[in-house]
Chain A
Amino acid sequence: MKPARRKEEGRWAWRLTGFVTLCVYIFMFAPIAATVILSFNASMFGGFPMTGFSLQWYGKLMANEAVLAAFRTSLWIALVTAAATTAIGVVTSFALVRFDFPGKQVLSTLVILPALVPETILGVGLLVLIKAVDQPRTLLLLVLGHILLAVPYVVLITQARMVGIRRVYEEAALSLGASRFSSFREITLPLLIPAVVAGALLAFTISFDNTSASLFWRPAGVETMPTQILSMLKISISPEINALGTVMILVTVGIPLIGGVVMQSLTRLRRRGEPKEEAR
C-alpha cells in the first residue's frame, strides 16, 4: 500500500486526487449507468424517478419484430465484417511485414487512411461511388462499407503482432520441409492467433456500433441496431430504448472482455521463455 503520508497537505492532495478521479469516472459511466438502471424502471416514461423494478421493457423488446430484425441484421453484418476484415488484415500485415516490394510504404499508409478520414465523408463517398456506377444500395454494400471502416484497425493490430513473430520460426519450418503455405498455416497463423482474435472482436464491435456511415449505406427498409434506436428516438424516449441500449452494451462490452481474457491466457502460454535474439 501507499507509504503513510504524515504531512497534512499530502493527505489533502490525495483526497483531492481521489475526488477528481471519482468525478471523472462518474462523468464517464453515469450515462451508461442511467441507461442500464432505467431499463428496469417500471414507469413508462424513460426517466427518473424510478417507480419500481420491472423487466417489462425487455419483454416488449422481445416482442418487437422491428427490433429483433434489426438485431439480427446487425449481428450478421458484424459477423461477416469480422470474418472478412480479419482475413484481409492477416494477409495484408503478412505482406507488409514479411516482404519488401516497391510502394510498400505508400500501401501501408493507404491501408490506415480510412481510419483518419471522417466517417461521414466515407459514407457520402461510397454512396456517390455507388451512384456513379449505377448500382443499388444493397446489404452487400453495407457490409463492404463496414469492412472498409474496420480494416485499418485490424491491420494495425495484426501488424503489431506480426512484427513480434520472429522470421526465424518460418525459416525453421521451411528448412524442415514445410512449403511456404504450410509454414504459414502451421507456424505463423497459430502464433498470430491473439491478434486475430483481438482484430475480429474489434471489427465486430466497430460494425455492430456503427451509426453514421450505416445511415448512408443501408438499403431502403433495412435497419441496423443503431439506426433502429435512432428511428425509435424520433418517436419518443421509451424505456424500451434503455433496454435495447443495455443489450447493446452487453454485446459490445461483453464479447471483447471475454475475448480479451481468452487471448491473454493464450499469449501468456506462448510468450514464456522465448530467448532473446542476439546480434550476430
Chain B
Amino acid sequence: MPDRSEASLSPRPVSAGAPGTVPNMDAGQPAVEFRDIDIAYGKFVAVRDFSLSIRKGSFVTLLGPSGCGKTTILRSIAGLVDISGGQIMIDGRRVDDVPIYKRNIGLVFQSYALFPHKSVFDNVAFGLKYRSVPKPEIARRVGQALDMVRLPGSEKKLPSQLSGGQQQRIALARAIVFEPQVLLLDEPLSALDANMREEMRVEIKKIQKATGITAIFVTHDQEEALSMSDRIVVMNGGSVEQIGAPEEVYERPATAFVADFLGKANMLAGTVSKSDGTTAVALAAGQTVNVTSPRPLKPGSRVTVVVRPQKLSVGPAGGANRLSGRVVSTSYLGGSAIYEIDIGGKTSIRANAPINGRIVREGETIEVGFDPSSCVLLDENGQRIS
C-alpha cells in the first residue's frame, strides 16, 4: 500500500479501551485516502495537491481558518463537491465517480439539518430505510442509536421541540445508525453555546471511540482540534501546513502559520550569533537567548524563536533565558494570568503563568524566562529547523 510518510497516521491502537468494536482491522488499508486532490471552482483553486491517508478507527481533524479548504475537502469525501484532479478512496475503493447516495458515509452538519417535518424516529431511521433494513430491525437500531446519544424515548418528538444540543445529538445518531464507513463532521459544535460545546466535544469523542468509526472532523477551533483528535491536519490557503498528533502540532509547529494559528505563540525574530554546542540567538528586541537547535546553524542566519506563552515562567526563579520588560497588560484568569510584556525593540511577548504570590500589574517591570529546549526555531522562510 502507498507509503506516504508525511500523511500516514499514528500507530495508535484502533479502538483502545473500547470493547465490542470491530477486531482485525487491516492496518495496511486506510479508511480514507486522498491522492493528490485538486479542487477548483472555475479559476479559483480551493485545494491544491492534497494527500492524506486516514487510518481506520481514528479521529482526524482538519483545522484551519475560514477559506482554507477544510470544508471543501470534507464535502469532497461526501461527494457534495467534485474534485478536479486526483483520487479519493474509501476502504480501498475509488469513489470519485460514485454518487453521494451510494458512498455510505455519515454526515453531521453545522446547522444540524434535521428534517423539520419528520419526527426524531423518522430522521434517525432515514438512512436505514434506504438500506432496505426490515422494520423491526430499524426500530431496534434507532432505539440503540438514541440510547447512545443519551436521548432515549425521544422518537416521537419533532426537531423543533429539541434544544440545539439535542438536535445535534439526533443528527449524530442519524449519521451513525447505519454504520457508515466514515463519519464526517462539519463544524458540528460551532452553532452551540459554549457550555454545550464542551459537553458535546466529550460526547462525540466517546461515541467515536465506542463505535470505532473513522471520523473526520472539520473545525477552526484549535481547542476542539487539540482535545478531540488523534491526528490534526493544519491547513492554510488550500494546502497542508502540518500533519501530526495534537501534542506534536502544538509543541513542534512545522511552520510559522501553525505556531501562530494554534495558541498564538510568541515569535521572536533574531540572528544566530554563536553556534558551538549551544546556539545563541541575538533577538531583534536586543536580548540574546540560548536555544537548542536540532542541527548546527551558521552564525548570521536569520531565525525566529517560537515560545508558547505557557512555557514562559514569570518571576526571578525560572528558566535559563531571561528577558525583562514592562508589563503592558494583565488579564487575570483565576488560576493563572496572561501578561503582555514589552521587552523593548517594539516587541511584546505574552506569558501565561500560574499565579504564585501576587499578580503583577500594568507598568511594573518583570522578568520572564524559558528553557533552551522549550522553544522551536523557524528558518527565514517560516519552516521549522529540524
> Which residues on A are within 8 Å of B, measured CB to CB?
166, 168-169, 171-180, 182-183, 186-187, 190-191, 269-280
Contacts and interface: CB of A to CB of B under 8 A. Distances in A.
B227 interface: no
A276 B79 CA distance: 24
Interface of B: 66, 71, 78-80, 100-107, 109-117, 126-127, 130-131, 158-162, 164, 167, 174-175, 178, 186-187, 190-191, 220
B106 A175 contact: yes
Contacts of A179: 101
Given A278-B111, A280-B186, A280-B190, 19 more contacts: A168-B111, A169-B113, A171-B100, A172-B114, A173-B115, A175-B101, A176-B178, A178-B130, A183-B101, A191-B117, A269-B158, A271-B160, A272-B160, A273-B159, A273-B161, A275-B191, A276-B191, A277-B111, A278-B191
A177 B178 contact: yes
B78 A175 contact: yes
B117 A176 contact: no
Contacts of A168: 109, 111, 113
A242 B117 CA distance: 45
Contacts of A182: 130
A115 B8 CA distance: 61
A280 B64 CA distance: 11
Contacts of B114: 172
Contacts, number: 98
Contacts of A166: 111, 113
A173 B126 CA distance: 8
A94 B271 CA distance: 62
Contacts of B167: 275
Nearest first, the 9 A-B pairs at minimum CB distance are A177-B130, A273-B160, A176-B127, A272-B160, A175-B107, A172-B113, A168-B113, A174-B100, A176-B126
Contact of A280 (B106, B110, B161, B164): B110
B101 A172 contact: no
Contacts of B79: 174
A116 B116 CA distance: 36
B117 A174 contact: no
A13 to B, nearest CB: 44
A270 B107 contact: no
B131 A177 contact: yes
A175 B115 contact: no
